[in-house]
Structure formats: C-alpha cells, structure tokens
Structure 1
C-alpha cells in the first residue's frame, strides 16, 4: 500500500491512515449489521471479568506505549507540517520496546481478545488478529531494511508480541 501511495509524497501516511480508518469502519459496520444483535456468550462471571480486565490492562499499556512514539509522525501530520523532517524515527529500544517489539499490536490484541465476549467481539478479534499479524510481518521487513543489523540483533533478543519476561527472557536494560 505504501508503494502505491508514494505518488502522494509526504501526505502518503495521512492518506494511508484515512484508507485504514475507512476500512476499519466498513468492517466494523458489516460486523454490527451481521452480528450486532447476537447475544453475549454465556461466560462465567469470573471469565467475563478477567477478559474485561485484560482489555483494560491492554488499554492502559497502549496509552503508556503511546508516550514512546511520535504520534504526529505516526498519524502523518508531522510530514505535512514539517516537510523537511526525517521520514522515520530512530530505532526505539526504550519504554515498552524493552519488552516487546510491537507494543501497539500486542496491546491491540489484548484489547480485542478481552472484548471477544459475543459473536461480534469474537469476529472482530479474529479479523484484528489477522490484520495485526500480517501488519507486523510487513513492518518487520521494513524495519530490517531501515535499521539493518541493529534491528536484526534486537529481533533476536526481544519477542514480537508476548513480553520477554512472560517467555522467561530478559528485557533490554533501561537506558540511562
């Protein structure tokens, strides 16, 4: 998609985000039409509470992770406001990146699976999981091209979605 939108110059990221937003709205709308009135799954109270808790933790971690990103660059507005700004940020190895390579994708998965308490929620979680796993694979190739051996070394040390400590691996040391 990025290559196809390259003709838009510095506004491609903004346009890409607009296309992604429309795509998500269409999928969400179709899900509401097809599954919106289906009742919730008859889960035990403890399971439902644990799932909502996972979604809440995911939301909190996503908000924390956002502090470590240039959100204006991610949205595409910095490229429009500051045409001479570098296209990409430096390789981030701090904050949530000490534990997981894709903090937004990982927390997004935690949120959607925590909310998968109805047929609509489950369909959304399955669709979002496919979208995020494919997106991470594409992003991995881009990051390897962009950062080379530094990213390859980081990728060997830190898992993509499941935080390193949960896999018995050490996170990166904090930066001074």
Structure 2
C-alpha cells in the first residue's frame, strides 16, 4: 500500500461516512415530522425525492472505487469462485423473489406522490414474507452475501466493512421506527427472529407468522 492508496482510502471513508449520516438523518422520523409540520405540501414527494437523492449520492462513491481501487487483496479461485458466485446468484434470486411481497410503489414513493399523501408514517402495514420468518431484514442479509462474495481490492474491502457496519446500525435505527408503527407486535417478532443472520433455533413457522399478522391487524396503528 502506497501513501497515495492510503489517501484514496481515507477519502473513500469520508464519502461513505457522509452518505451514511445523510441517509440516516433524512430517513428519521424527526426530520420527516419537521417537513410535515413546516412544509406539508412537500411530503407527497419526500420518499421519492429521498430515494433519488440516495442513488445520486452513491455515484461519487462508486466513481472513487472504480478510479482508485487500490491493490487486489484476494480473488476467489476454483471451487471457491463457484461457491461465491453461487451464493451471490442465490442472494440475487432471493432479492428478486422478495419483491413480490413488498408494495414497490410505496417503497419507491410513487404511491405517496400519486395520492398526495402527507402522512409521516409508512402506509404499508405490518407484513411477513417467507424470508422474514428467518431474518428481520432479508434485504440487508442478501446485501451482505453479495458484497462478501466478491473479489476484494482495498477499496472494496473498506466499502464492504463500512456497509456491514451500516447495515447493523441502520437496521436498529429502522426498527425504532417499526416499533413506533407496530408496537408490541413488532417487539414480539424481534424476540423470535434474528436481525441479519439466520439462526437455526430462531425462526417462525408459517402458522406463527400468520398469528402475528392476525394480531397486527387487530391492533390499532400508532399515530
């Protein structure tokens, strides 16, 4: 590692930290409530604008990673490459399959824009896909598989570590909001299912998931 490599990694670290802070702050209930109070006319476009901004903020980070990758640290070979790529394909398949269980328009913010919704809270109710029976955040879990099955140069390794830490912190921040939205039902769900890594002894059967969903439907939504 040359001095130039270390400078490039330091700059990449700053970019990632800036992205994570802005991403978390703009997703917080405090900021959303402030916008809803002072600029209610902007709330229908908030989620859509947030998603567009999140993608645009990634572009300079990806540019740094491509232009200044640093030295190669390891590359999968032979059976290891087949296993790594197989796991990555399985994660991609799982991600695509999971889209069937989400309201995509709600997630992107298109539904809020079209219906002129000014509510701060997410409109999609408590739901459990088959993947949610094993981990509370399947998209983060699939993301972890994808990033750690790639060949690693210095920039990729740094980014993978930082994304992993952010998935852990971000999932906990997200769950604070989910507790506000779904209350005791989500607390019971957290007690039974791990966050990011599936554990054989902690999961929900199909019947237990159905009972939780029924309980959620019978519980009034938090304001």
Q: TM-score, normalised by structure 2?
A: 0.69
Match of 1:20 among 44, 49, 54: 54
Corresponding residue number in structure 1 for 2:79:
46
SS in structure 1 at match of 2:206 = coil
Corresponding residue number in structure 1 for 2:20:
none
Q: CA distance change for structure 1 residues 25 and 130 in 2, over 3 Å: closer, same or farther?
A: farther
1:10-45 deviation per Cα after TM superposition (whole angstroms, max 9, x unaligned): 211111111211222221111112107x44724432
Alignment map for 1:116-155 (pairs within 5 Å): 116-155=151-190
Q: CA distance change for structure 1 residues 116 and 155 in 2, over 3 Å: closer, same or farther?
A: farther
Aligned length: 173
Q: CA distance change for structure 1 residues 94 and 30 in 2, over 3 Å: closer, same or farther?
A: same
SS in structure 1 at match of 2:196 = coil
Range that drifts further, 4-13 or 73-82: 4-13
Q: CA distance change for structure 1 residues 84 and 20 in 2, over 3 Å: closer, same or farther?
A: closer
Task: Measure, in 2, the Cα distance between the counterparts of 1:13 and 1:173.
Answer: 32
Larger Rg: 2
SS in structure 2 at match of 1:104 = helix
Corresponding residue number in structure 2 for 1:58:
91
More helix as a share of residues: 2
Structure 2 contact 95–139 (Cα < 8 Å) conserved: yes
Gaps of 5+ in 2: 1-25, 212-223
Q: CA deviation at 1:172?
A: 3.2
Q: CA distance change for structure 1 residues 4 and 169 in 2, over 3 Å: closer, same or farther?
A: closer
Q: CA distance change for structure 1 residues 98 and 18 in 2, over 3 Å: closer, same or farther?
A: same
Q: CA distance change for structure 1 residues 46 and 40 in 2, over 3 Å: closer, same or farther?
A: farther
Structure 1 contact 144–152 (Cα < 8 Å) conserved: yes
Gaps of 5+ in 1: none
Task: Measure, in 2, the Cα distance between the counterparts of 1:172 and 1:18.
Answer: 37
Alignment map for 1:162-173 (pairs within 5 Å): 162-165=197-200, 168-173=201-206
Q: CA deviation at 1:95?
A: 2.1
Task: Measure, in 1, the Cα distance between the counterparts of 2:118 and 2:181.
Answer: 16
Do residues 33 (structure 1) and 60 (structure 2) align?
no
